Amino acid sequence: MSVNSDSPVSTLAPDELRKRRRLGENAIQSFLFFCGVVSILTTIGIVIVLGRESLRFFASPDVTLIEFFTSIKWQPVIKDFGIWPLVSATLMTTTFAMLVALPLGLGVAIYLSEYASQRARGVLKPVLEVLAGIPTVVYGYFALTFMTPLLRSIFGNGIVEIYNTASAGLVMGILILPLVTSMSEDALSAVPQSLRAAAYGLGATKLETAVKVVLPAALSGITAAFVVALSRAIGETMIVAIAAGAGPNFTLNPFEAAETMTGHIVRISGGDISYDSIDYNSIFAIGLMLFLITLTLNIVSRRIVRRFREVYE
């Protein structure tokens, strides 16, 4: 078969076959690279500031690392700097938040992904978006004026204090519910329809398909959603500052008042403390502790996602 010498293929020069430079794509690529560099530099700057100010706190003769990580008293006035009262309150509110957000969020995600009609999705989606858009200070007053009286009516006024970690944690769970639902639904929807069809072909019901096929296949994405929600709960400020309590208290009773790490930072930073004092520098030590906790959660999340990630062709 002969090749026509007049065809376009034979008349193209080698220079014309090379990749052409497009200024628009290059500009977009440069802008995206710039955004990535800015985010990395911002993170590095935060770590440097927290580390530098925390070193001033730990350099004080009144503070030791052993006391900071082992003592159960946090009273800066008498030079007691044990972080555990703040950590325990943070963990209690976070636990209650996850007990609310994880089962409800996953259940709603399964319903939206596997059962809901277009009409139901059109109703539930806007409702979840409204929950996500409510200011956290409103959630704080909701916990103080609704959830706390509800708990006191159930368990008794003598058991449930006006400020307590249980009400703050339960309302915090409502706050992060849309986050869990949205990310989990995305993970479930990403599972190929062929897996569902194969399960139906083998005689599985819709519930069996959702629980035994779709849910395990989306485990990595669901795990990432849970860890992101957990980090969001640990870093929540206004709800715990309003409803949990305003004083460090090492207790395992969720119905007692206790101050979380973020709540303590808000209270101290808004007070009349002098710059570069030990009380002021303690804020950065608490912030560094929060950063390390969330960093650990992110590292664990990446390992879990990498371990259970499913790749489909």
Q: What is the DSSP string of 64-87?
A: -HHHHHH---EEGGGTEE-SHHHH
For residue 75, list its beta bridge partners: 80
Task: Determine the residue type at 171.
Answer: V
Does some domain include residue 277? yes
Give the span between the Cα atoms of 35 and 33, in whole angstroms. Answer: 5
- The predicted structure's pLDDT at residue 1: 47
Does some domain include residue 30? yes
- Ranges of residues in the chain whose predicted pLDDT is under 70: 1-21, 271-272, 308-313
Does some domain include residue 293? yes
Burial label for 245, CB within 10 Å (0-12, 13-18, 19+), is buried
Length reported for the chain: 313
Same domain flag for 26 and 101:
no
Same domain flag for 154 and 25:
no
Query: What is the SS3 assignment for 49?
Result: helix
Give the span between the Cα atoms of 9 and 252, in whole angstroms. Answer: 78
* pTM beyond cutoff 0.95: no
Residue 214: domain span: 69-308
Does some domain include residue 245? yes
Burial label for 59, CB within 10 Å (0-12, 13-18, 19+), is exposed
C-alpha 244, offset from chain centre:
19
Same domain flag for 159 and 304:
yes
Is the separation of the CB atoms in 106 and 99 below 8 Å?
Answer: no
Is the separation of the CB atoms in 161 and 255 below 8 Å?
Answer: yes
